[in-house]
Amino acid sequence: MTTATQHSQTATRAPARRRALRQALPYLLSLPALLVCIGILIPFFTAVYYSMMRFRLNLPMLKGFIWFDNYISFLSDGAFWNTLSISLIYAFVTVTGELILGLGIALLLVRPTRLNNAVSIMLLLPLMTAPALAALMWKLMTNPNFGILSYLVSLLGFENFKWASDPSTALLTVVLVDIWVYTPFIMILLLAGLRSLPKQPFEAAALDGVPRSFVFFRITLPMLMPYIITATLFRLLDSIQQFDIIYSMTQGGPGDRLMVFQVQSYLEFFQYTNVGRSAALLIVLWAITYALSNLFIKHWLKLRERAHGPA
């Protein structure tokens, strides 16, 4: 009798344990995401806290809250507007160049042949190079005394080309490095998108004798637009936060010609010891990236809704 009762209690407890485990499973699976979110939010709110303070490491006695004065001072600060304009120009030029080159290369490699697959793998090599290391490589190649690129440019008639040491060509130099490193990223995303497009519209256009230009602008580009927006978003957010390439090559110079947000914030903290201003610059950069990502995601959702039609 006792044994039967124990078996009966065990049988009733097992479903209860399974139900409790099923109810707790979503929370257990979301725990890593929660930990990552906490790890992100702690530095973010720390930066917000310091951005509202007057805090210089060399003058700790003057530490205190000034609330939004760091942000208000940006409105009348020419250096801030210079940083903002250079960051946006750099991001626009690099992403535009990488999109054009990446799409062109992807169109050339769209057929999945052995040669095309081998070439696409080889083109990924710059992406596997650390950006700071790539910048140092280009710094050596553009050296006016022994750089191979300086030698090649001199053959074209441009003697003593200054590259990153000249304010008029510094932006061009770092843009070339950025395009060399990150074009393979956009190329591989767009290549995957091109190879996943349905074949029927292209086969019908070929049977009807539709011109290739019409096929590209009326069929390929609209169908590829979600991939283009995704690649643009990733690269735009990364370009506007660029640090390693620019700092490795010019430290934001010559002068303030390449003083983008990350470099300016780094110098404010480590060179000028102005913690409050450095944190405020990073919060402004976060606000810009947040606005851009929201804009792109909303546009991407509209494209997806248009593609799938009304539910």
Which pLDDT score is estimated for 34?
85
Give helix then strand counts, H and E, for the chain.
13, 2
CA distance 267 to 108: 43
Q: Which residues contact 189 (CB under 8 A, 6 or more apart)?
A: 102, 227, 230, 231, 234
Residue type present at position 256: D
pLDDT tens track for 92-115: 999 999 999 999 999 999 988 899
Within 13 Å and on the Cβ side, how many CA atoms surround 235? 30
pLDDT tens track for 156-179: 888 888 888 888 899 999 999 999
Beta bridge partners of 236: none
CA distance 43 to 48: 9
Structure tokens given for 65: 């809250």
Helices (H), 52-160: 69-75, 78-108, 114-123, 131-141, 148-155
How many other C-beta atoms are found inside a 10 Å radius of the C-beta of residue 304? 11
Beta carbons of 178 and 95 less than 8 angstroms apart: no
CA distance 129 to 123: 12
Cα dihedral angle (280, 286, 292, 293), rounded to 10 degrees? -170
Per-run averaged pLDDT (10 residues), the chain, 311 residues: 53 69 81 86 92 87 86 91 94 95 93 89 89 91 87 85 87 94 94 91 84 88 89 91 91 88 93 92 93 86 65 40
SS3 state of residue 300: helix
CA distance 134 to 130: 6
Q: What is the pTM of this model?
A: 0.86
CA distance 180 to 134: 9
Residue type present at position 151: Y
Which pLDDT score is estimated for 311?
40
φ, ψ (nearest 5 deg) of residue 199: -85, -25
Closest of 74, 82, 71 to residue 255, by C-alpha = 82
CB-based burial, 64-92: b 16+ in 10 Å, e otherwise: eeeeeebbeebeeeeebebbbebbbebbe
- CA 222 to each of CA 29, 92, 218, 229, 299: distance values in angstroms, whole numbers, following the listed order: 37, 22, 6, 11, 13
Report DSSP state, residue 310.
Answer: -
Q: Which domains does the chain have, with CATH numbers?
A: 69-133+170-308 (1.10.3720.10)
